[in-house]
Amino acid sequence: EVLNTRTVVKKHMAELHCTKYLFDKSRLRLLPKIKTLPEKLIPKFLHAILDDLSGLHGEEAKRETAKEMGVEVEQLSPLIDCYRLFFKQIIRHEISPDQIREDLQALKMEEEIINTIVNAVIARRFTAKAAAVRNTTKISGSYLADFDWKIHLNLGSDKISKVKRPSILLSLMIRDTATGKDEETLLELSPEELSALIDRLRELHGAMVQLRS
């Protein structure tokens, strides 16, 4: 069987760049199984998935790959899903080509296959990222373009001993996709409010990762 997940060698995934923020890191355990594909079909397989992520039609390429291997598309689905998530992680977390190479080398993958994967990412990263932004703005016409922060100390008097508890000034640059203009939003948060916000954002991020993959 082409992709029998029971025969996959378990890998230590915790320290990889590509598993950052993934709750279930084992979802990328099939990355090394790309070697089961015929060598000449690997680039087509990778670009078919990147076509999907770029908003193009990659289904036909997937079917052609499966046909040339003499298998059904469904048999390739676990590997397709794995690499789809892998590429999303690369785009979402700005993982560099060198970091991609480090991850794949840590998984003991062949250097030729590593080069093929890295080259595919370099060639298609921009269009895939642009498509991700477009998909996000279908939900909202604006998105977070940048942010900055600093610690703010409120003085109760001119004596340093009377300094109140610090707060965080958070500056959010919100970009309107219709006009391309940025609008700054300032938030002043106490340590407790900041901690609660971070926890909430982690929950939302986890939910979005599960939804998109």
Instruction: Please state the pTM of the whole predicted model.
Output: 0.58
| Domain boundaries of the chain, sorted by first residue | 5-138, 140-212
pLDDT 10s digits, 23-81: 677 888 899 999 999 888 899 899 888 887 776 665 776 777 778 778 787 888 899 88
Q: 3-state DSSP call for residue 159?
A: coil
Residue range 82-108: mean pLDDT, rounded: 90
Contacts of 34-42 with C-beta under 8 Å, sequence gap 24+, read 34/79, 34/83, 34/109, 34/113, 34/117, 35/109, 35/110, 35/113, 36/2, 36/3, 36/79, 37/65, 37/69, 37/79, 38/68, 38/69, 39/112, 41/65, 41/68, 41/69, 42/113, 42/116
Task: Encode pLDDT of 10-36 as tens digits.
Answer: 445 657 888 876 767 788 889 999 999
User: Which tens digit of pLDDT belongs to each residue from 138-164?
Assistant: 555 677 788 888 887 765 555 555 556
H or E element that contains 91: helix 73-92
% the chain with pLDDT above 90: 17
SS3 category, 143: strand
Q: pLDDT at position 4, please? A: 43
Question: Residues near 143 by Cβ (< 8 Å), separated by ≥ 6?
Answer: 133, 136, 137, 174, 175, 177
196 versus 34: which is more confidently predicted? 34
Mean pLDDT of the chain: 77
